[in-house]
Structure 1
Amino acid sequence: MFRLDADLKVFVHREAIDFRKSINGLSVLVEQSMKRDPFARAVYAFTNRRRDRVKLLLYERTGFWLLMNYLASYYNSFNWM
């Protein structure tokens, strides 16, 4: 199960990324751009150019987790009714 423990390190990729990238592309960015091990016990955070979306990459024993979230201000700009 995915858990954000108190001792879990979080690393943020400073530049915006192409949000079409998936687990393979993001793990390559972790290795080459961030100079980190994608299999380490850490969370790697990425944003898009507009900074209205976030992707988190995390490796656990059974494989990678890839989570994406739209930030709240993005949803508030739509008229849902």
Structure 2
Amino acid sequence: HMDPRRSALYLFCGKRCDRVKALLWENDGFVLLYKRMEVKGRFRWPRSSQEVRQLIWQQFDWLMSGLEIEQPKAFKTP
């Protein structure tokens, strides 16, 4: 129930969790980005709609690096 034309980056992941597609709306159309894990690993992806959430840029960076989006030992922004 989200509007894809609002200012947000939407992420989608397949069953194997080794590929991510990102959809971004710009004023004149959509931008589609695709990332595939080259190393043996998986993106840490939500398994149900209850686990879907908004991410800050730092969490997005961790996700794209193959890390968990929660890093308990990371520095907290003030």
* Greater fraction strand: 1
Higher relative contact order (CA 8 A, sep 6+): 1
* Greater fraction helix: 1
